Amino acid sequence: MKVKIFVLILIVLAVILALPRNKKAEIKEMPVVRIAYGQYISPMFVTQEKGFFEKQGIKAELTLFPATNTTVQAIANGNIDVASLPYSVLFPLEKASPGKFKIFAGIVETIDQPYSYLIVKDNIKKVEDLKGKKVVVRSGSNGKMQATLIFKALGINPKDIEMVEAEPSLTAVTFAKPDMAAAVDVEPSATAMIRKNLGKVLISGIRARYLFNPYPTTGMIFSTKFLEKNPELAEKFAKAIDETIDFIRQNDQESRLLMLKYLSMDKEVALAMSPAEYQKSDELDKKAIENEMNLEAKNKILDNVVDLRNVYYR
Cis peptide before 214 (omega within 30 of 0): yes
Q: Where are the alpha helices (DSSP H) in the chain?
A: 2-29, 43-49, 52-55, 68-77, 87-96, 141-153, 171-175, 189-195, 206-210, 224-229, 231-250, 252-259, 267-272, 286-298
Q: What pLDDT, on a 0 to 100 scale, did the predictor assign at position 276?
A: 92
Q: Using CA atoms, how far apart are residues 75 and 276, in angstroms rounded to an integer?
A: 24
Instruction: Give me the residues paired with residue 83 across strands.
Output: 36, 221
pTM (predicted TM-score):
0.87
Q: How far apart are CA 93 and CA 90, in angstroms?
A: 5
Whole-number pLDDT of residue 39: 87
CA–CA dist 176, 160 (Å, integer): 21
Segment-wise mean pLDDT, segments of 10 residues, the chain, 314 residues: 49 50 57 95 97 98 93 94 96 96 98 97 97 96 94 96 95 97 96 95 98 97 97 98 98 96 92 94 97 96 95 96
Domain 116-210 class, CATH top level? alpha beta
pLDDT at 28: 59
Structurally, what CATH architecture does the domain formed by 31-110+214-298 represent?
3-Layer(aba) Sandwich (3.40)
pLDDT value of residue 4: 52
| Predicted local confidence at residue 29, as pLDDT | 83
Quickly count: other Cβ atoms within 10 Å of residue 178's Cβ: 6
How far apart CA 31 and CA 248 sit, in angstroms, is 25
